[in-house]
């Protein structure tokens, strides 16, 4: 198989989203993934390890690893700690049983 024959990650994801079970899980974890991406981006931009980031926000490295996995949404208290320790803003909206970030 040639590299040019491989599907992109986006193509594979779109195919998987056709599966109702996958789609339900994808939708369920959307907010947690958004938080995870923001944490990873912040750490990368500030050259921080998980441990250094954890110290900055008053958490443990294992908690940061779990947040970065994007499997479970963080609590409001956790978002407050992240915001206090980093200056990140988290504007969220609760609508019809879903949680999402409000575009800033």
CA 5, distance to chain mean position in Å, is 30
pLDDT at 103 over 70: no
Distance CA 3, CA 20 (A): 29
Q: What's residue 101's pLDDT?
A: 79
9-24 pLDDT per residue, tens:
888 888 888 989 999 9
Q: What is the pTM of this model?
A: 0.81
Q: Where are the domains of the chain?
A: 9-101
CB 68 within 8 A of CB 50: yes
Nearest in space to 36 (alpha carbons), one of 2, 8, 73: 73
Q: Which CATH class is domain 9-101?
A: mainly alpha
pLDDT at 104 over 80: no
């Amino acid at each position: 198989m040639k590299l040019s024959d491989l599907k992109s990650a986006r193509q594979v994801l779109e195919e998987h989203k056709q599966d109702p079970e996958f789609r339900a899980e994808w939708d369920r974890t959307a907010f947690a993934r958004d938080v995870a991406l923001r944490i990873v981006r912040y750490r990368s931009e500030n050259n921080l390890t998980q441990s250094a980031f954890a110290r900055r926000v008053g958490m443990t490295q294992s908690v940061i690893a779990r947040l970065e996995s994007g499997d479970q949404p963080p609590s409001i208290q956790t978002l407050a700690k992240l915001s206090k320790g980093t200056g990140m803003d988290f504007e969220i909206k609760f609508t019809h049983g879903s949680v999402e970030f409000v575009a800033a």
